[in-house]
């Protein structure tokens, strides 16, 4: 009865793609907790204070029924002000927020142009969308423009990109894409998951100069640099209202924890009050870049650093060797990344210091020797 599943798992194992859950290790090089907020005393205190004033752990229902709590609405108001948007809508995670957006807002006759390296959550939303979709070569502004011209005179075009790409650590050409969106009356949707809290003024992300425009939507993930949980869509009020009325993942899901909404509020406040966290992270990224050049690797320039090794088996073996030394590093393989680009994905966080980073790169250098 279950043989189909056993066969599929066996095939994955033979291809070097079988996944399994594993515990955390000593030195963090795999989390997205870039600012080391997840286990911070500041957020622990925010939890205690919220509980003390009676904020519940669970919402008890969807927000359109009994689950709408003042903490949700306060967070959305504060997030809209923080990011410079007209409105904000809080989801239980970045994945459902992204999927809901693309399943709901683009309409029949519209076209969604998406960067081919965009998050899996967008692809799930595309499968549920009534709009057509077309992949665009990574960071190819000219290809975006050609597709926009080809669709001229028909429905609205939605351009979907990440500001900071999660597997390569490179940045989108947002200024050029924004200019295209304005010139062709297109919508620009920017997934800020890995930039929120880290890049931009006060950690507002790279969309900050464009937030508040009617044709801009941004996703700000709360479970990465903000150290908590959830996803916030920032957009025009009319788009928020439409999502509240039509987005099935919002309408039919139990509302996010009011307690987590309170913690996200504290995270946004810390972004403003503790710029030294971003400064320390930027310094660690620069230090890492210098050491990478010394061992013959090209730095990404951001807190996401891929070490591409090619074959999935080699990536898995290298990760295992580094894990044995206490480094929490995971192998990333297809289909998460394209064939032939299996890699170690090193994330740089404030959970390590320069000494640990230097030791890791020394060990990595010795393992990469032919």
Taking only the tens place, the pLDDT of each residue in 77-109 is 999 999 999 999 999 999 999 999 999 999 999
Last residue in a domain, options 273, 303, 328: 273
Query: Is 296 or 281 the better-scoring residue by pLDDT?
Result: 281
Judgement on whether residues 304 and 191 belong to the same structural domain of the protein: no
Distance CA 141, CA 23 (A): 41
Judgement on whether residues 183 and 306 belong to the same structural domain of the protein: no
Judgement on whether residues 264 and 324 belong to the same structural domain of the protein: no
Judgement on whether residues 87 and 108 belong to the same structural domain of the protein: yes
pLDDT given for residue 132 in this prediction = 95
pLDDT in tens, 302-352: 999 999 998 888 999 999 999 999 999 999 988 889 889 999 999 999 999
Query: How large is the average pLDDT for residues 19-48?
Result: 92
Last residue in a domain, options 246, 273, 300: 273
Q: Is residue 123 part of a domain?
A: yes
Judgement on whether residues 50 and 165 belong to the same structural domain of the protein: yes
Judgement on whether residues 193 and 90 belong to the same structural domain of the protein: yes
Distance from chain centroid for Cα 65: 29
Q: What's 228's DSSP letter? A: S
Dihedral class, residue 94 (left if φ above 0, else alpha if ψ from -120 to 50, else beta): alpha
Task: Mention every residue, 6+ apart, whose C-beta is less than 8 A from residue 257.
Answer: 56, 57, 58, 59, 92, 229
The owner of tokens 């904000």 is 88
- Other CB atoms within a 10 A radius of the CB of residue 308 amount to 17
The H or E element that residue 293 is part of is helix 275-294
Q: Is residue 364 part of a domain?
A: yes
Instruction: List the CATH number of the domain containing 346.
Output: 3.90.1150.10
pLDDT given for residue 334 in this prediction = 87
Query: How large is the average pLDDT for residues 202-208?
Result: 98
pLDDT given for residue 335 in this prediction = 86
> In the chain, how many domains are there?
2
pLDDT given for residue 292 in this prediction = 95
Judgement on whether residues 196 and 106 belong to the same structural domain of the protein: yes
Query: How large is the average pLDDT for residues 180-197?
Result: 97
pLDDT given for residue 201 in this prediction = 95
Among candidates 172, 193, 170, 31, which has minimal Cα distance to 120?
193
With beta carbons less than 8 A apart as the criterion, state whether 101 and 123 touch: no
Query: How large is the average pLDDT for residues 109-135?
Result: 94
Q: Is residue 12 part of a domain?
A: no
What are the catalytic residues? Answer: 32, 119, 162, 166, 191, 194, 224
pLDDT given for residue 13 in this prediction = 85
Q: Is residue 2 part of a domain?
A: no
Judgement on whether residues 223 and 357 belong to the same structural domain of the protein: no
Reported in sequence order, the residue ranges of the chain that DSSP labels E, i.e. its strands, are 27-28, 87-91, 111-115, 132-136, 157-162, 187-191, 216-221, 231-235, 304-310, 327-328, 331-332, 342-347
Judgement on whether residues 261 and 299 belong to the same structural domain of the protein: no
Q: Is residue 163 part of a domain?
A: yes
Among candidates 128, 194, 133, 137, which has minimal Cα distance to 158?
133
* Owning domain of residue 291: 275-368
Among candidates 179, 243, 189, 185, which has minimal Cα distance to 217?
189
With beta carbons less than 8 A apart as the criterion, state whether 204 and 84 touch: yes
Q: Is residue 129 part of a domain?
A: yes
145-149-154-155 Cα dihedral, nearest 10 degrees? 10
Structure tokens at 189: 């949707």
Last residue in a domain, options 273, 301, 317: 273
Instruction: List the CATH number of the domain containing 133.
Output: 3.40.640.10
Judgement on whether residues 258 and 285 belong to the same structural domain of the protein: no
Confidence of residue 260 (pLDDT cuts 50, 70, 90): very high
Reported in sequence order, the residue ranges of 13-82 that DSSP labels E, i.e. its strands, are 27-28
pLDDT in tens, 235-249: 999 999 999 999 999
Confidence of residue 164 (pLDDT cuts 50, 70, 90): very high
Q: Is residue 11 part of a domain?
A: no
pLDDT given for residue 100 in this prediction = 96
Judgement on whether residues 237 and 312 belong to the same structural domain of the protein: no
pLDDT in tens, 49-70: 999 999 999 999 999 999 999 9
Distance CA 105, CA 107 (A): 6
Confidence of residue 168 (pLDDT cuts 50, 70, 90): very high
Judgement on whether residues 138 and 126 belong to the same structural domain of the protein: yes
Average pLDDT of the chain to the nearest whole number = 95
Helices (H) and strands (E) in the chain, counts: 13, 12
Query: How large is the average pLDDT for residues 270-281?
Result: 98
Q: Is residue 5 part of a domain?
A: no
């Amino acid at each position: 009865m279950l043989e189909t599943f056993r066969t599929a798992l066996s095939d994955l194992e033979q291809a070097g793609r079988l996944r399994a859950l594993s515990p955390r290790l000593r030195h963090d090089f795999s989390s997205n907790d870039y600012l080391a907020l997840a286990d911070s005393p500041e957020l622990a205190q925010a939890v205690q204070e919220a509980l003390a004033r009676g904020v519940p752990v669970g919402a008890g229902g969807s927000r359109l029924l009994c689950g709408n709590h003042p903490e949700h609405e306060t967070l959305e108001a504060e997030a809209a002000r923080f990011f410079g948007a007209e409105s904000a809508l809080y989801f239980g995670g970045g994945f459902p927020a992204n999927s809901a957006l693309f399943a709901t807002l683009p309409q029949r006759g519209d076209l969604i142009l998406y960067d081919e390296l965009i998050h899996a959550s967008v692809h799930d939303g595309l499968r549920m969308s009534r709009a057509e979709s077309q992949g665009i070569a990574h960071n190819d502004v000219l290809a975006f423009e050609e597709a926009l011209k080809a669709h001229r005179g028909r429905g609205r075009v939605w351009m979907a990109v990440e500001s900071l790409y999660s597997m390569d650590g490179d940045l989108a050409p947002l200024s050029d894409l924004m200019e295209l969106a304005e010139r062709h009356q297109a919508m620009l949707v920017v997934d800020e998951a890995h930039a929120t809290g880290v890049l931009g003024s006060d950690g507002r992300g790279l969309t900050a100069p464009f937030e508040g425009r009617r044709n801009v939507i941004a996703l700000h993930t709360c479970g990465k640099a903000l150290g908590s949980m959830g996803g916030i869509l920032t957009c025009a009020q009319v788009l928020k209202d439409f999502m509240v009325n039509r987005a099935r993942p919002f309408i039919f899901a139990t509302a996010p924890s009011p307690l987590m909404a309170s913690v996200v509020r504290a995270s946004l406040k810390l972004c403003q009050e503790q710029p030294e966290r971003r400064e320390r992270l930027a310094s660690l990224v620069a230090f890492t870049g210098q050491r990478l050049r010394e061992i013959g690797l090209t730095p990404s320039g951001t807190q996401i650093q891929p070490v591409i090794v090619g074959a999935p088996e080699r990536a898995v073996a290298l990760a295992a060797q580094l894990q044995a030394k206490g480094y929490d590093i995971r192998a990333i393989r297809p289909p998460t990344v394209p064939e032939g680009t299996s890699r170690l994905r090193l994330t740089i966080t404030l959970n390590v210091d320069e000494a640990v980073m230097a030791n890791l790169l020394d060990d990595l250098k010795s393992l990469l020797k032919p």
